[in-house]
Structure formats: structure tokens, C-alpha cells
């Protein structure tokens, strides 16, 4: 009987540890998804640098 109680306690601890690991992974995945979305929005917003043809020439020309 004591041996069964030890096994149950060990399994409960293992389950709790796995649960915490899953929660941490879920939070990390959520943060990474948000960062990917932000990067996609930046990429889809258009070029950051203008084309050379669109630049105004410097004043010495």
C-alpha cells in the first residue's frame, strides 16, 4: 500500500511538472506568434528604403 502511495505521489508530481512545462511552452509560442505577426506587418507595409529613382538629388547637383 505504501509503495502505491509513493508511485501515485511521484506520478502527480510528474504530471504537475509536465503541466508547467506545457504552460511555459504555450506562453512562449504566443509571444513568438505575436512577434512573427509584427514582422509580417512591417514587411507588408512596404519598403523601408526608397528606390534611388525616388530620392531627390543632393543640393550640389
Cell numbers placing 4: 502505491
- The reported pLDDT for the residue numbered 21 is 99
Average pLDDT of the chain is: 92
- Is 31 a residue whose pLDDT tops 60? yes
All three cell numbers of 14: 510528474
pLDDT of the residue at 40: 95
Cβ atoms < 10 Å from Cβ of 4 = 8
Task: Report the pLDDT value the prediction gives residue 61, as an integer from 0 to 100.
Answer: 56
Instruction: Name the pLDDT band for 46 (thresholds 50, 70, 90).
Output: confident
More confident residue, 22 or 42: 22
Amino acid at each position: 500500500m505504501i509503495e502505491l502511495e509513493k508511485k501515485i505521489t511521484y506520478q502527480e508530481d510528474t504530471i504537475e511538472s509536465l503541466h508547467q512545462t506545457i504552460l511555459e511552452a504555450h506562453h512562449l509560442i504566443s509571444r513568438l506568434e505575436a512577434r512573427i505577426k509584427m514582422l509580417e506587418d512591417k514587411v507588408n507595409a512596404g519598403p523601408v528604403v526608397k528606390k534611388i529613382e525616388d530620392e531627390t538629388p543632393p543640393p550640389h547637383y
